[in-house]
Structure 1
């Protein structure tokens, strides 16, 4: 009797100890979590490929006298033609800017041929590499250069574009977090239909998100991991999406076990024993898939891998420790008004997933073929994806810097509105300048700063920015100028495209191999993992195809982010396999308990279908939050992942994987021991009445 009482006392103490441990951990992490925003940077070098010419240019520019140059263009325009007063206003405003800031050189007016526009290129080393100082400089220049008496004044150029992009990234933190919390809260209330239960997983996932920010800061301090607005935003979405998915699975199994066990502690132990391996394996696939991004050469992709992994692992730890502790301490009453009483039987009803499973089980090959044809047809839409998005088209709402670029493109069709930066060894500056001026497509070239053994040359192309002609000029310069580096905004876009193409060839096979190995270890089979991976790859193709039908024709986007294919593949494969793990793990559990293959597949769908549907809706909704952000690349990524998750949840897992499992029978577990059990002799099936 004494031993039993001691055991009960120990069991009652464990949840309190876990809660105290979490409070202590969050207290330790708190000072670091608040510092993550201080190390978040959205500089060019944080997104560029590590080994590209344009990256080397940006790094060397930081070392030149004055540091990194902030290049701006002040654009003065009047539709009917500039008046003498307009030109005086422009000169006066530029003079004021020059008096308030340290500029490199004297700004000179460049009038357009049609007389409607005059531009003043302005450059300053005053901010250096400090983004806040750069943004303050741009804001101050915009405060000085403002519209007056019908004269339109716009501040553009690379520096203004960077500031406008930074404003969007800085706005991700608050709105993204609040919107994600609201979406998850609403969905949990609808799923649980309880005034109390939804709060528990939401509080836990919020603590996991706070923990992830502190760990991410520590990772940056220890290893120099790149922290950008994009990666921190994705980390938040992953914590809430994946964490809530794990909570749904654990709570569902816990509710099931509460009917079989009198004590909540015993019910939670049984629940974790039953679904714990699936949760561990699913988080392992996501973490492994994201860590594969470390093989990418693109800084933004490589930095996203560790931060995304931190988010997923923090969510996993919280859901396997803090969530069970809070649920056990809350007891059965947390499920009110639908309290699962001990010894009770859930109300029998014909569920949607039972009906869907029955239809898939009756004609598995027909369902499988129809689904494959549908996914293949949707994937053809990828052929309609627009080309690579230009820098000025990467904003959902047009900022002032983009409006300035458009004004310059119309007023100066004979020249580029943004420079090409060439960095060359100082002892070869003269020869390099001569070679540049002799290159086809170059309108002008001017030698700039010299320092640290390098000289900067600013080149203006005769073609519009990021046009095919300007791209040809940049490639000609790189072919001609051996030992020099060619960078600038247009060169950066070229490097982004080339590097993303290279990263796809390297990262995609690594992701597939790592996910397959985890699935093989979990399911003890080769056929089932191959089936699941093939399914998520088909979903990825179909989701991209739907994007091709929507981005241009419906949303009016002028291009596609070069990294969309790789990032959407990593996320959809890693996250999509989660639901396959939930389903197949339950199917294997039923098979080990003696169920026949078809019955095991249908039982697994009936018992996990609701959880998978709820988890899919939550995950899709959290990624859909990105479609409300101000950058085209985030909107496209959020759309493709959300659509892919919905396809995976309501078509692939429900119909195709179930149909394939029924059609394959025990062969789905080959070469594991489950595949070697002979099928029993079944009575001949009577034809169903029509």
Structure 2
């Protein structure tokens, strides 16, 4: 008889005694370990979940809070607290009549402040009612004393003004009014945004997996990561380590849900493949975990490194987004590598019902399992004419990249932040029609008392300044008109003198233009230049100066951070792919893809949506997310290509890598694009613009770039792409 041939026996087919000898735990112990991991995450979610509704307690939307300590606006904000309560936020009540305001209406207005006081509105000394020259408008300024309740106070005032005489149209505007409308716009960020994001992702996962259970398990994994992230970030903000605002909250939520789902897609694809190779679900879990660890850790680490580059920013909102978003990515990785493998190990093939993967190793050996008709056709198409394809794709991207030069990112007026308009924006327009545009929101100038007259003279000579006063505790109104504004002063001001603190006084200049307008910012720039010679000690602050300093800092951040991100990610890719050529090419492609996305956005924003412009941080955030997240798909693709190239060669490895990962990468791109698109439910121009740029850019990257451009370039270059590693030889 011929000798019996030796057969290979997998660990899954060994008897239990043999497995125990090899150090492999018993099935019961494996189930217990998996159940403990799931229980730990459930406990984490139980602790961190309630903090989701409390995150607004440790956030702020004040622009001054995010400026660098060295900026003039910040220094003035710190000094003006010595002259008066700098925390007070002015609410400007504007009233307009079709004809001259009647005596009866004037009686109503003169008693309004006292009535609001008795109704519990907490404000410092109110201004007298100021009537416009045409007699058709009036304004009343209420400095709301408590910043924590100012939004509620504004809403209460608006409800009270609903019963104003029918002959008067009333509005609440000013810093307090804008802050209240901004808070209302962010109101949906705690619930609506999450529900929309989860619902969209659930529908996409249903289509991808054709299973009712698996999408739920993937989304639970995302929620676990989000709960843990919120818990840690809440304490980071509470301890003062980071300053967060509504924008950072929204981006965190979307980023965690999108990233965790992307990592889950990668793991589930590996797990399904392993279930076909192994009968045992635990053996499949082990193989899937090993196969997913490097790409998930590498892609997550790359995103984290890119995000932490924001720590080089001057703006606290940017420096906060770095560690906050990085924390979210860390927990997304942990949930995808611990909770998801554990829960899928417990469910096994049942998780994929009704399309359960069958144990059929031969399907993997013959390639039958991978033979997606769509991706096989794409791979064959790319392999047939790689040079023509990558040149065509590159030229197409280059055209739109050139259009990105028309992207306008010089800042957006505060009155235009909320899409669809707001009461504060309408009130600001009415105010500007009847009063100097900067009424109620003056520029604050701290200057040495010895230079007061020179500073006042410089202010008087600027056409953008309507009137000037100096803070005076002796004055019944709290300020004393000076310079040309002091002509024909009423006797009540005769005994008043400027308040002097440490040899300095605080001047307040009412600007002729609305405080959030570009013309007002131009006035502040002129004043700063004039003070360099007229009053060298003068520092200019206030709302307009804060906006101007924010734009200046954001433009500086963009110029500094983008090169740092490029350098860091290039280094990581070199270490990961053990190559110099591939990382440089891939990063150049990613940057061109980003610029093309920005070009498409410029066309739509300027000519279709008619946006007034964009905040300077929009292209910076878009760059960080698109480059960092775009590299994710590069890593998913190229790590698999490198793995296949070791046995098949570069060109065939590229073909097989594209077939195997094409569906996963495209699905991941659609999921991430959909989650970022959900940001558009918050009616703020910043988030809507960022949502479009990232969503479109991710789709472009996951389809045209990863399906055609990168594979075609690698096919054309062949093994040279791996230089100087052994694969290149």
TM-score (norm 1): 0.92
Question: Which range is displaced more, 220-229 or 556-565?
Answer: 220-229
Q: Deviations over 1:539-563 (max 9, x none)?
A: 2111111111112322232121121
Q: Say whether the 8 Å CA contact 1:526–1:670 is kept in structure 2.
A: yes
Whether contact under 8 Å (2:113, 2:126) holds in the other structure is: no
1:478 to partner: Cα distance: 1.9
Quote the residue 1:437 is aligned against.
Answer: 459
Measure the CA separation in 2 of the matches of 1:312 and 1:350: 31
Structure 2 match to 1:483: 537
Greater shift, 344-353 or 529-538, is seen at: 344-353
Other-structure match for 1:687: none
Query: 1:412-451 counterparts in 2 under 5 A?
Result: 412=435, 415-424=437-446, 427-428=449-450, 430-431=452-453, 434-441=456-463, 442-448=465-471
Inter-CA distance 627–103: structure 2 relative to 1 (3 Å threshold): closer
Please state how far the C-alpha of 1:214 moved relative to its aligned partner: 0.6
Question: Structure 1 stretch 241-250 or stretch 41-50: which is displaced more?
Answer: 41-50
Q: Which among 462, 472, 476 is matched to residue 522 of structure 2?
A: 472
What is the CA–CA distance in structure 2 between the aligned matches of 1:468 and 1:233, rounded to whole Å? 28
Structural mapping, 1:222-621, within 5 Å: 222=239, 224-343=241-360, 345=363, 349-386=371-408, 387-412=410-435, 415-424=437-446, 427-428=449-450, 430-431=452-453, 434-441=456-463, 442-448=465-471, 453=502, 455-479=505-529, 480=531, 481-593=535-647, 595-621=648-674
Q: 1:458 to 1:105 in 2, by over 3 A?
A: farther
Matches within 5 A, 1:166-185: 166-185=183-202
Comparing 599-608 and 314-323, the one that deviates more: 599-608
Secondary structure in structure 1 of the residue aligned to 2:471: strand
Aligned-residue offset at 1:277 = 0.5
Q: Secondary structure at the match of 1:551?
A: helix
Q: Give the Cα separation in 2 of the matches to 1:554 and 1:604.
A: 39
Quick check: 1:56 aligned with 2:75?
yes
Is the Cα contact below 8 Å between 1:242 and 1:619 reproduced in 2? yes
| Partner residue in 1 for 2:705 | 652
Distance 1:28 1:152, change over 3 A: closer
Supply the distance in 2 between the matched residues of 1:34 and 1:365 (Cα, whole angstroms): 53
Distance 1:184 1:432, change over 3 A: farther
Work out whether residues 309 and 564 of structure 2, in 8 Å CA contact, stay in contact via their aligned partners in 1.
yes
1:497-543 per-residue CA deviation (whole Å, 9 max, x = no partner) reads: 21111101211111111111111111001111112211211121111
Q: Are 2:689 and 1:636 aligned?
A: yes
- Extract unaligned runs of 5+ from structure 1: 677-690
Question: What is the 5 A alignment of 1:30-109?
Answer: 35-62=54-81, 64-97=83-116, 101=121, 103-109=123-129
Contact 2:260 2:333 in 1 (8 A): yes
**Consecutive unaligned residues in structure 2, runs of 5 or more:** 1-15, 473-498
Q: Check 1:163–1:597 CA distance in 2 against 1; reply closer, same or farther (3 A cut).
A: same
- Please tell me whether Structure 1 or Structure 2 has the larger radius of gyration of its CA atoms: 2
Q: For residue 681 of structure 1, what is the aligned residue in structure 2?
A: none
Question: 1:25 and 1:498 mapped to 2: Cα distance?
Answer: 41
Q: Specify the SS of the correspondent of 1:218.
A: helix
Hey, what does 1:4 align to over in structure 2?
A: 19
Q: Is the 8 A contact 1:504 1:566 kept in 2?
A: yes
Q: Are positions 1:625 and 2:641 aligned together? A: no
SS in 2 for 1:171: helix
Separation (CA, whole Å) in 1 of partners of 2:708 and 2:569: 22
CA distance in 1, matches of 2:391, 2:212: 44
In 2 relative to 1, CA 266–183 (structure 1 residues): closer, same or farther, beyond 3 Å?
same
Structure 2: how far apart are the matches of 1:507 and 1:348?
41
Report if aligned partners of 1:439, 1:473 keep a CA contact under 8 Å in 2: no
1:117 is the counterpart of 2:137: yes
Q: Report SS of the residue matched to 2:314.
A: coil
How high is the TM-score relative to the length of structure 2? 0.87
Distance 1:476 1:351, change over 3 A: same
Residue 267 of structure 2 contacts residue 292 of structure 2 at CA under 8 Å; is this kept in 1?
yes
Equivalent pair of 2:397/2:596 in contact (CA under 8 Å): yes
Partner of 2:61: helix, strand, or coil? coil
Q: CA deviation at 1:95?
A: 4.5
Instruction: Kindly report which structure 2 residues correspond to 1:99-178, keeping only aligned pairs within 5 A, or say none.
Output: 101=121, 103-124=123-144, 126-127=145-146, 130-131=147-148, 133-146=149-162, 147-178=164-195
Q: What is the CA distance between 1:640 and its match in structure 2?
A: 0.5
Contact 1:419/1:458 (8 A) holds in 2: no
**2:39 maps to which of 10, 20, 25:** 20
How much is the aligned-residue C-alpha RMSD, in angstroms?
A: 2.4
187, 190, 211: which one aligns with 2:207:
190
Offset from partner CA, 1:246-287 (integer Å, 9 cap, x none): 000100111011111111111121112222211111001111
Q: In the TM superposition, what whole-angstrom CA distance separates every residue of 1:263-318 from its partner, at most 9, and x where no partner exists?
A: 11111211122222111110011111111101100111111111100111101000
Q: Tell me, in whole angstroms, the C-alpha distance in 2 between the residues paired with 1:645 and 1:275.
A: 21
Structure 1: how far apart are the matches of 2:510 and 2:402?
40
SS in 2 for 1:198: helix
